[in-house]
Structures are given as C-alpha cells and as structure tokens.
Structure 1
Amino acid sequence: MRLPPQDTMSQYSSNFLLLPIPECPLGDCAPSKTVKLVVLGGNSVGKTALIVRFLTKRFIGDYETNAGALYSRKFTVDGEQISLQIQDTPFVSLEDDAENICCQEQINRSIYWADGFVLVYSITDYESFRVVRPLCQHIRKIHPNASIPLLLIANKGDLLRARQVSPEEGPQLAGELTSTYAEVSARERFEGVHEAFYQLCQEVSRVIGGSNGEKRRGLHLVRPKSPNMQDLKRRFRQVLSSKAKSSTTL
C-alpha cells in the first residue's frame, strides 16, 4: 500500500469533523465494507438535490446554505450490504487565471477522505462546466491514490431551452477524465440519478474488494451520534408547509 507523505497526512487528518451521521440501530450488524463518496461542483449545480434524490427519491428545490453534510445509509450493491457515506460540499469556483480552482479547506479534506467522486455541473451554466477539468486535476494532486473512480454528472437535463453546455461536450470531457458520464434531472427523474450513483458505488466497491485485504487509506473520523436525517426531514416539512400556504393564498 502506498502511503502519502507524513506532512500530507497530518495536514488532512487533524481537526476534521463532519456533520452528524446516523448510527446503525442497536442489535443490527454493521456492514463490513464502507464506501465513501464526495460530491463536488460549482455554485447552484444541484449537488444536494442529487444526493437527496438518490437517497430518498424525493426532490426538494430549496436548500439552506450548504455546510457540508455527511449522509450515511446501509445500501446493497450486487447483493452485498455496504455502509454508504456521501459527503456534500460547498461550491468550488475558478480563480482569476481560470486554470486553478478556489475551494475551502473542508473540500480538500473531503477529497483526501473519499473512495470515489461525483463531479457535477449544470447544463444551464457553462461556468460550472469549466470548473470540472481543473477540479479533477486538483483531486489527483491531493488524493493519495493515482486512479480513483469518477462520475461526471450533467444536472438539470430538464432545462433544455436554457442549455449552455452542448450534449457532446459532457461525454467528451468524461473521456478525457476517464470517468463515467450521465446527464440527469434531479427534479424530474429519480431513475437516472439512482442508476448513475449505483454504478459508481459498484465500481468503488469492486476497487475496495480488490485491495486483497490491505488496510484502506483514509481519515479516521469520529461518528457523532445524532442523525442528520432529522434536519433533512425538517427541511422537507418546511417545503411542504410553504407550498400549502402558497396554495391557500392563491
């Protein structure tokens, strides 16, 4: 197993706390395999909406400012139950030279932690598409593994009239990055989102399974006990309540 330099390990393994994730129920056996994904992309591309759509089948249009929630679920991949952890992140932007990205330290820590990556852009925002290539280069500089599963998602596929990124540009970029590609709509279609995430989970699971029992690289994080699903449910109730009030007003 190739270990990262000591200074790199200390840089990304200290003082890194994620938002709460749920514990396994008492008396229930935790899966032996953990798959850790991080979702990255530009501003307002729908990262949180995609995660929530995948995990709950629901679409919520309005979200509070993204603080980087970590979602945890038991999930079955090819007949095997795994512990799936998905890290949401604040947005990434380009620097003035348009060749490098500007991102928070939390994102660097998330990159170092992950086993697989979901890179998201919006077909209605060309700037978010331009972020992807330097973002991928940034990942490969930070992550200690040279080859790691990548999924490129073009979101907001329902907004064709507002399209700024052509249908050909996404697959072409995915080929350059050696990543899987999917154009989806978090708003309109659960199946496309689920299929894209599921394929990435399969790929990551196979990579982990092929490690021949070697100790996996990664950050050792303390699992807080209070589940962040309560916050997700609260937001969903707020959305339903606001929609009901709007209907009553009309």
Structure 2
Amino acid sequence: MLLGGVQHSVQISLQSGYGPQGATWSKSGATEYPVLDSVPNKIIKLVVLGGSNVGKTALVVRFLTKRFIGDYEPNTGALYSRKFTIDGEQISLQVQDTPFVSLEDDNDNICCQEQINRSIYWADGFVFVYSITDYNSYRLIRPLYQHIRKIHPNANIPLLLMANKGDLLRARQVSSKEGLQMASELGGTYSEVSARENYEGVQEAFQHLCQELSRMIGSCNGEKRRGLHLIRPKSPNMQDLKRRLKQALTSKGKSATTL
C-alpha cells in the first residue's frame, strides 16, 4: 500500500530475540514469511509518551495491526518493530511503548521512570499522546517536552502530538485549537485521531513522522547518530503484542463490556 511516499509491507516483523526470528502477523492474524528479503538500510526509533489512560498502547497496536483493542493490562513498556519502504528504501521501524508519565505537583513537575529516560535517550523521534477528554493529560505535554530537552539540549527533536479519543466529542476538555497551539509551540506536527474509529488518521500521522525522520537520518551523511551505542530497551515485543490481543479478544468473548 502506498500513501504519502510510504509503501508498507503489511506485516509486522520480529526484530529481537523474543521469539522465532522473522515471524510475522498478517492482517488476518495468520503467521506469514517476511516480505522483505534484504536487511533494511535504515532503522527509525520512535518512543510513545504520555499520561495514564490516554491510549498510547491502543494507538501503537492500531498502527501496527489495524486492530483496535480497548482494554489492556498496565503497560510496562514494550518494543515493537515493523518493516516497510519509504521512497523506495527499506526501513525498519522500532516503536517503544512506555509506562505513563504523571505530574508530581501543581508546578507541573513530572514523575518519570528511569526506563522512560532511557527510551528518550535512545529514540530518534517522539510521539506525545494526550486525550481530548482529559485536560491534565494535555497539561502534561509541555513539561514532558521540557524534560526531553534536558536529555537532548541541543538536538533537533522531531515530534508528533497526537490528540486521541477524537470520537468522544461530548466529553471534550481540550479544543483542537489548543492542540494546534501546543504543537506549534513545540515545533512539531499535530493530529487529532481516534484509535477506536480512525485507523487512516493514525496511520497517516505515524507515516508523516517516519518520512521526516527518514530524510533527517539520510542527511546525516554517515555521522554517528545519538544513542547508537546504547542497548535498546528490552521488551516482550511481538509475543507480548500477540498475548495482549489474545487476552483482550478472549475477554470480549466472555463479557459484554464495550471495548
């Protein structure tokens, strides 16, 4: 599928040692062989950050699998990867999901686990997520950006600000104008989406950031990228994603709870 210069392989490829090498999931959920035979020329590393219950994991799963699962276990951080093509070049995308960040006090100081700090240092690009139904999750974004600036004081920070739960308009606490203003202030792009109802919007938002990062990495001319000397965060990867999907689908079959 080609959209905005990005051609997807439509499979999710396992990139770490957590399971059989090269195992993939198709749209139907069946295991398939990888569609890319050669090693990708670039690795793009994203970290997804935000408050509690804003839909970080739901957005990642929606982007990677096209599925929406509404109920998850508390997130301890998982690293997922996917192979695709941008402008004719093979790319390996690594997406680090993270536990939630919270405000410590009324002065907008944030409480951030060391695991999150390591992920911030490791990443090339950043996805900030808040819920349009939770003003405090929006209020968290600015101090979170300032925290990242302490870790990367001189770096260009490619970022995507995602306002999730766009289908819950009656419960809106954050306007689209406020989201746009925040993205402009931070020098990033803005996208209001619904992980539940709008796969295309989620996909396009992630794709745009990946294209920006691919061009930035290509312009480095072989210079050492920050974080390459780091060991990437450990996670259950695709085995964890499969387990979460299976658990949520099983729970849905046993209960009338709406996802």
Q: TM-score, normalised by structure 2?
A: 0.82
| Percent pairwise identity | 74
Q: Which has the higher strand share?
A: 2
Contact 1:21 1:223 in 2 (8 A): no
Q: Secondary structure at the match of 1:168?
A: helix
Residue 213 of structure 1: CA displacement?
1.1
> Does residue 217 of structure 2 align to residue 211 of structure 1?
no
Q: Secondary structure at the match of 2:128?
A: strand
Aligned to 2:132: 123
Aligned to 1:103: 112
Q: 1:220 aligns with which of 226, 230, 255?
A: 230
Q: TM-score, normalised by structure 1?
A: 0.85
Equivalent residues in 2 for 1:74-153 (5 A)? Answer: 74-143=83-152, 145-153=154-162
What is the count of residue pairs matched by the alignment? 229
Q: Which has the higher helix share?
A: 1
Aligned to 1:202: 211
Residue 130 of structure 1: CA displacement?
0.3
What do residues 63-97 of structure 1 show as CA deviations (whole Å, max 9, x unaligned)? 11111100011122222211100001111111214
Q: Secondary structure at the match of 2:162?
A: strand
Q: 2:81 aligns with which of 52, 72, 76?
A: 72
Look up the equivalent residue of 1:234 and give its one-letter code: R
Contact 1:19 1:228 in 2 (8 A): no
Q: 1:33 aligns with which of 35, 42, 46?
A: 42
* Gapped regions of structure 2 (runs ≥ 5): 1-15, 24-33
User: d(CA) in 2 for partners of 1:19 and 1:98?
Assistant: 42
Q: Secondary structure at the match of 2:107?
A: coil
Q: Residue 146 and residue 130 in structure 1: after superposition, are their counterparts in 2 closer, same or farther (change >3 A)?
A: same
Contact 1:72 1:84 in 2 (8 A): yes
Look up the equivalent residue of 1:149 and give its one-letter code: P
> Does residue 252 of structure 2 align to residue 243 of structure 1?
yes
Larger RCO (alpha carbons 8 Å, 6+ apart): 1
User: d(CA) in 2 for partners of 1:99 and 1:127?
Assistant: 10
Contact 1:21 1:72 in 2 (8 A): no
Q: Residue 222 and residue 235 in structure 1: after superposition, are their counterparts in 2 closer, same or farther (change >3 A)?
A: closer
User: d(CA) in 2 for partners of 1:150 and 1:167?
Assistant: 17
Contact 2:18 2:239 in 1 (8 A): no
Q: 1:188 aligns with which of 193, 197, 202?
A: 197
User: d(CA) in 2 for partners of 1:21 and 1:100?
Assistant: 39
Q: Residue 89 and residue 227 in structure 1: after superposition, are their counterparts in 2 closer, same or farther (change >3 A)?
A: closer
Aligned to 2:53: 44
